[in-house]
Chains A and B, each alone.
Chain A
Amino acid sequence: MSYLTITDLQKHYDNYHALRGINLSITEGEFVVFVGPSGCGKSTLLRTIAGLESSTGGTIELDGRDITELASSKRDLAMVFQSYALYPHMTVADNLSFALRLAKVSDAEIQEKVRSVSASLQLDALLERKPKELSGGQRQRVAIGRAIVRQPKVFLFDEPLSNLDAALRVQMRLELARLHKKLGTTMIYVTHDQVEAMTLADRVVILNAGQIEQVGTPLELYRKPNSRFVAEFIGTPKMNLIPADKITHKADELVFDLFGHTIHFPAKRIKGTQPDSTIVGIRPEHLSLVEEGGDLTGRIELVEHLGSEAYAHIQLLNDQTIIVKAAARLELKDGQEVHIKVDVDEIILFDDNNKVISVIPEEA
Chain B
Amino acid sequence: MTLNQQRKLKTFITGLFAWTIALILFFPIFWMFITSFKTELQAISIPPSLFFEPTLDNYSEVQERSDYVHHAINSIITSFGSTILALIIAVPAAFSMAFAPGKRTKDVLLWMLSTKMLPAVGVLVPIYMICRDYGLLDSKTALVIIFTLMNLPIVVWMLFSYFKDLPKEILEAARMDGATPWDEVVKVVLPLSMGAISSTALLSIVLCWNESFWSLTLTASDAAPLTAMIASYSSPEGLFWAKLSAASTLACAPIVVFGWFCQKQLVQGLTFGAVK
Contact = CB atoms under 8 A, between A and B. Distances in A.
Contacts of A71: 175
Given A73-B180, A102-B183, A85 B169 contact: yes
B192 interface: yes
Nearest to A150: B177
Contacts of B167: 83, 85
B255 interface: no
Contact of B173 (A51, A79, A103): A79
A89 B177 contact: no
B174 interface: yes
Contacts of A206: none
Contacts, number: 59
B29 interface: no
Q: Which one of A50, A85, A103, A146 has the highest number of Cβ atoms from chain B below 10 Å of its Cβ?
A: A85
B179 A78 contact: no
Interface string A72-111: 1110011101110111110000000011001100000000
A176 interface: no
Nearest to B173: A85
Query: Which of under 10, 10 to 19, 20 to 34, or 35 or more describes the interface residues of B?
Result: 10 to 19
Contact of A88 (B170, B176, B179, B180): B170
Given A83-B169, A85-B167, A87-B188, A78 B174 contact: no
Interface string A46-86: 00001110000000000000000001111001110111011
B192 A77 contact: no
B191 interface: yes
A113 to B, nearest CB: 14
B178 interface: yes
A89 B176 CA distance: 18
Q: Which one of B167, B169, B177 has the highest number of Cβ atoms from chain A below 10 Å of its Cβ?
A: B177
Nearest to A47: B172
Contacts of A79: 172-173, 176
Nearest to B191: A89
A85 B179 contact: no
B173 A89 contact: no
A102 B179 contact: yes
Interface in B157-203: 167, 169-170, 172-180, 183, 187-188, 191-192
A307 B87 CA distance: 64
Contacts of A103: 178
B163 to A, nearest CB: 14
Contact of A99 (B178, B191, B192): B178
Contacts of A146: 173, 177
Contact of B172 (A52, A86, A88, A98): A52
Contacts of A88: 170, 192
Interface residues of A, number: 25
Given A81-B169, A87-B170, A72 B192 contact: no
A72 B188 CA distance: 16
Contacts of A156: 176
B173 A102 contact: no
B58 to A, nearest CB: 49
A81 B183 contact: no
Contacts of B192: 87-89
A343 to B, nearest CB: 47
A87 B174 contact: yes
B176 A98 contact: no
B189 to A, nearest CB: 10
A26 B173 CA distance: 23
B139 to A, nearest CB: 40
A50 B178 CA distance: 12
A7 to B, nearest CB: 23
A192 to B, nearest CB: 18
Given A83-B167, A83-B169, A72 B191 contact: no
Nearest to A88: B192
Contacts of B176: 50, 52, 72-73, 77-79, 156
B175 A52 contact: yes
Contacts of B180: 73
A79 B167 CA distance: 16
Given A73-B180, A102-B183, A87 B175 contact: no
B185 to A, nearest CB: 14
A51 B169 CA distance: 13
A72 B175 contact: yes
Nearest to A102: B178
B245 to A, nearest CB: 45
Contacts of A85: 167, 169-170, 172-173
- List 4 A-B pairs, minimum CB-CB distance, nearest first: A85-B169, A99-B177, A85-B173, A72-B175
17 contacts: A50-B172, A50-B176, A52-B176, A71-B175, A72-B172, A73-B175, A73-B177, A73-B179, A73-B180, A74-B178, A78-B176, A83-B167, A86-B173, A89-B191, A98-B174, A99-B177, A102-B177
Interface of A: 50-52, 71-74, 77-79, 81-83, 85-89, 98-99, 102-103, 146, 150, 156
Given A79-B176, A88-B170, 8 more contacts: A50-B176, A73-B175, A73-B178, A78-B176, A87-B174, A89-B192, A102-B178, A156-B176
